[in-house]
Amino acid sequence: MFNRLRRATKSWFDEVVGNSPVSAITGHAIPIESLFNGTPIQKMALWAHYLEAGTGKVWAAHKAASIVAEAIASTPWTLNRIGTTDPIKVPVLEELMKWPNQSETWRDMIYRTSMHLSLTGMGFWYKSEATLKGDKPRELYCLNPRRIRIIPDTRLGVAGYIYTVNGSQIPIDIEEMIMFRRPNPNHDYFGLGDIEAGASLYEDAMNRGARDEAFFKNGSHPNGILITKDGYTDQEDEFKRVKARWQKEYGGKNNTGKLGWLSGDWRYEQMAFTNRDLQELERSQLNIEYIFLNQGVPLSVAGIRAAANLATAEVDDRRFKEYTVLPWIKRLEDSIQNDLVVGFDPRAQLVYNVKGLVSVGQVMTDLAPLFDRGGITINEMRQAAGLPVDKGNSAWEACYILNLYTPLDLAGIMPDATQAATTAAAIAGRSPKVPNPPASVVSQ
């Protein structure tokens, strides 16, 4: 740790920090921000709120983010030689991408990172025991965004990070961190998560949850009331006695459905839901649906609402894969490739198998006319379909054009060996010499 920071502030470290940087920093009045010559951006509280909303306060936010994260973590990947479909062996990197640390699998870390990105727009991996350039770490750790502060720099963009744990502040160099971010059009350093982008939806859900909790805590809404013509203004003890008897006989879950018997001048009046209650119930259902849509999860995929038919279900599933899962995978793929894979072997390339996330049939339909006229190569078409390409295959790098056209009345009756000659004769206006022509042709 502290590779670039130690070089840049060597005298300060030697004088103050010595061999125990964390204890020395936390034990002196010198602020840790002075290491970076900047002021940290205070957004920890906001990230914490987003994470809390998506892990307990708003169940729909967690469910939607989890569906996306599971889809991303389940997508297979390979390490190929750059520009080809040939696999490449990088044993140390392959082992790291199976078990990034002693307590977490690669799939689990991808899942957690995807959850962080969905909820906060940010993700952080610490590269433990990496080289001075941040290459070849021995372990990877997914850090909680709520514990991270970013130190901005006018020249570098990000000068470093401060990680807070158990009251200790630990500076982390930019070379020791892999930062994932969904670009935020309104901020230079922070990403944009789903909750921040749709803040009003989640605030409405949390406010409604707090109101419902208080509603039940205060005794909730009575289902009915007992009415008597005789008041109990001067008979408080009698009122309490009748109330306790009624609750004992007919209150609680064990007495549900029992028939109530009244003596004296009493009557029971059922209380129904008001129009406002029904509107609140409808608003609550709509709020849940909007949260799923805000996070890119169709309701049929989430199981909230059944699709109208099979065709609609297939469209929802394809849109979810292509417009929600695929962009996240490409963003992860780029960051992992540039900040991790290249450091182990510059010839290696991380490739996610996304052919199941792209509608190959639709791509073929859209691009087939362009391919038939020499507009694109086989590799370009395969890349658009999410399939592996092979830059070293000259046939796949060439363009093709279909310039042989067959008259409709001759289609399907000519052998392949004489197809070109027959087509040329037909275009020239001569009668083609058809080997073994059908009876209809002979009779003519």
DSSP states of 39-54 as a string? -----HHHHHHHHHII
Instruction: Give the residue with greater pLDDT, 154 vs 88.
Output: 88
For residues 92 and 408, which has the higher predicted lDDT (pLDDT)?
A: 92
The answer on 243 and 94 residing in a single domain is: no
In three-state secondary structure terms, 252 is coil
420 with 321, same domain?
no
Place of tokens 């002196």: 28
Identify the band that residue 339 occupies on the pLDDT scale cut at 50, 70 and 90. Answer: very high
The contacts of residue 387 (CB under 8 Å, 6+ apart) are 355, 360
pLDDT-derived band at 41, boundaries 50, 70, 90: very low
* 257 compared with 300, residue with greater pLDDT: 300
Q: What is the pLDDT of residue 234?
A: 56
pLDDT class for 57, splitting at 50, 70, 90? confident
Average pLDDT, the chain: 76
115: containing domain:
1-216+273-357
Collapsing DSSP states into helix, strand and coil, what is residue 157?
strand
The answer on 264 and 286 residing in a single domain is: no
The CA–CA distances, whole Å, from 438 to 128, 170, 329, 441 equal: 77, 86, 56, 6
Tell me how many helices (H) and strands (E) the chain has: 20, 10
Shared domain check, 161 and 147: yes
pLDDT value of residue 72:
95
Angle (CA) 266 267 270, round 5° = 150
What pTM was estimated for this model as a whole? 0.68
Given a contact cutoff of 8 angstroms between Cβ atoms, the answer to whether 3 and 132 are in contact is yes
> What pLDDT does 1 receive?
45
In a domain, 397, yes or no: no
Q: Tell me, what's the pLDDT at 406?
A: 56
Closest CA to 40 of 147, 152, 131, 129: 152
Lowest average pLDDT, out of 183-192, 243-252, 294-303, goes to: 243-252
Residues 65 and 194: their CA atoms lie apart, in Å, by 9
| Structural domain contains residue 228 | yes
pLDDT at 96: 95
Same domain as 254, residue 283: no
Is 232 in the same domain as 300?
no
User: 228 and 327 share a domain?
Assistant: no
252-272 confidence digits (pLDDT tens): 656 655 666 666 666 766 665
The two tokens of residue 225 are 């009331």
Structure-token match 């993700």, residue found: 123
Q: State which of 357, 390, 423 marks the end of a domain.
A: 357
Do 234 and 109 reside in the same domain of the chain?
no
Q: What average pLDDT does range 308-312 have in this prediction?
A: 78
